[in-house]
A and B are shown apart, each in its own frame.
Chain A
């Protein structure tokens, strides 16, 4: 008897059909699309101008005029959340891009070459993993100055070993397969094989890890701006809003509740999306049902 292939063998149509029956994928997709839409919308329109301070309206509780209330400068919380979404998405997305762009080639290369190069690359990975990511991000942003760009770099650096590890593990599982031997017998070198056979077959893994890191990036960005090292005022950011809310919990709890819920919803949406994709494309999880 033969061992069964663990790579999805599906046509696009069947994958789509399955996607529309997958609950977590659908919920995740809707939430993520909503957050993205809100972020795009904020460029065109927000209920109120988030740069204008209206002290007379400060710390108003939620009302018809201000659905989520106002902050201590009289700014509309809903509008700030909308603009903050841009910042969160941009930081996390670029950080994932950095992690994938650098980490995947590293991991795939390590798997293709093996031996000493692999060992050295993986030990470098261990080194980065030894630094608690948030602590190091705080150090980096503190040293090079707070701001969205430095936050992106700091978060991005710690995405690199994550993607390197996933790419390497995925590639190592593909390399001993017979279709790789067949490609080698056809005279193809390791670079060509990596591009033609390895990367397409680990794309699913990377996509799932991408959504996870995206979600973690949103959390990390919120943490950094909460301690004052992310996007700087007047640019609204979810973490910063929570920091402002902390000392005013007693008088204006809505200042803390709504931005927090925005973070939870976004991260939840991305995680559900990732789970859904993994469910749909990974035959292992299919077997489990």
Chain B
């Protein structure tokens, strides 16, 4: 057990370090000098040089990486070139939009998907299964931003139930804030729920064909009890894998969805920073998102060990 945990932890940390190097290297090779960008086109070469020194841009590559990475660890991300405020402040005010959005979407997708998967698997081949799986086929095929547009058209433009976009801030009260996150999280969640439901169904069907299901039935357990007590836990493993992958997908999905709904979240921040070449912001936010993905994958790996005793005794 400990060996497994330790190995996973080391892999996660190594991936994180490598990822930071990749992010740093990619932004290194980008054409364009941040110092010149900040000072504008009219600045003289001397002024640019002074600022470059100030920003530490002339230091050797390795040193700059260490400086940057060290800063990340102490949550000192540097200052934004365009906003001229510490990046951490920008992140702090944006993360309260993006994180709730991603979490609500994830929860929503799980709550919808698992029952649908269970229902379909236990009625395999019957009309209910066919209808549910047809619906998920559509769900998988719908791009979330188009789905978002259709939701806006239906609920904001036509029915006027919710705002079409924007975010009042949590200071405006929990309900108005949640209300403005409602459509975006539905738009994010439904296509993901469709994928998850399909995975859950096929994992369950696979498990239901196993020999030990027959053993359980031979004990006299009714089908429903077999499904709940024996099949579900074994089918959790592929479902967990997909949940982990979906978190990464949701994080990226928020970039586009935040743009559709004009939500001031991390995705929108990084997107604007890219177009404005505010590289320090891009670096920091990308690193943050990558770290979140790695952390979630680690959690998924650990939950495998909880679900599957075979992993606990293996390396």
Contacting pair A246 B260 (CB below 8 A): yes
Contacting pair B145 A223 (CB below 8 A): yes
- A-side contacts of B260, CB under 8 Å: 246
Q: Say which residue of B15, B141, B286, B293 sits within 8 Å of A264 (CB atoms).
A: B141
- B-side contacts of A130, CB under 8 Å: 15-16, 19, 248, 290, 293-294, 297
Chain B: CB-nearest residue to A260: B146
**Min distance, Cβ A27 to any Cβ of chain B, angstroms:** 10
- Within 130-153 of A, Cβ neighbours of B (below 8 Å) are at 130-136, 138-139, 142-143
Contacting pair A127 B255 (CB below 8 A): no
- Within 206-265 of B, Cβ neighbours of A (below 8 Å) are at 206, 209, 245, 248-249, 251-253, 255-256, 259-260
- Name the residue among A123, A130, A249, A271 with the largest chain B CB count within 10 angstroms: A130
- A-side contacts of B125, CB under 8 Å: 289
Complex Cα gap A275–B140 (Å): 13
Contacting pair A272 B253 (CB below 8 A): no
Query: Interface size bucket, A side?
Result: 35 or more
**Min distance, Cβ A161 to any Cβ of chain B, angstroms:** 12
Contacting pair A142 B146 (CB below 8 A): no
Is B282 part of the binding interface, using a Cβ–Cβ cutoff of 8 Å?
yes
Is A250 part of the binding interface, using a Cβ–Cβ cutoff of 8 Å?
yes
Query: Interface size bucket, B side?
Result: 35 or more
Is A287 part of the binding interface, using a Cβ–Cβ cutoff of 8 Å?
yes
Known contacts A249-B157, A288-B205: A256-B137 contact under CB 8 Å: no
- A-side contacts of B143, CB under 8 Å: 219, 222-223, 260, 263-264, 267
- A-side contacts of B170, CB under 8 Å: none
Complex Cα gap A135–B253 (Å): 8
Complex Cα gap A287–B145 (Å): 38
Contacting pair B248 A256 (CB below 8 A): no
- A-side contacts of B282, CB under 8 Å: 139
Known contacts A135-B289, A138-B271, A219-B143: A250-B297 contact under CB 8 Å: no
- B-side contacts of A275, CB under 8 Å: 137
Residues of A contacting B: mostly: helix
Chain B: CB-nearest residue to A284: B206
Is A20 part of the binding interface, using a Cβ–Cβ cutoff of 8 Å?
no
Chain B: CB-nearest residue to A263: B143
Known contacts A139-B274, A222-B143, A226-B145: A123-B11 contact under CB 8 Å: yes
Please list the residues of chain A having a beta carbon within 8 angstroms of any beta carbon in chain B: 123, 126-127, 129-136, 138-139, 142-143, 215, 219, 222-223, 226-227, 242, 245-246, 249-250, 253, 256-257, 259-260, 263-265, 267-268, 271-272, 275, 284, 287-289
**A-B pairs with beta carbons under 8 Å apart, 8 shown:** A130-B290, A135-B286, A143-B30, A227-B271, A264-B142, A267-B143, A288-B209, A289-B125
Apart from A135-B252, A223-B256, A267-B140, list 15 A-B contacts with CB within 8 A: A123-B14, A126-B297, A127-B15, A130-B294, A132-B248, A138-B274, A219-B143, A227-B255, A242-B145, A242-B149, A249-B152, A250-B157, A256-B146, A263-B146, A265-B141
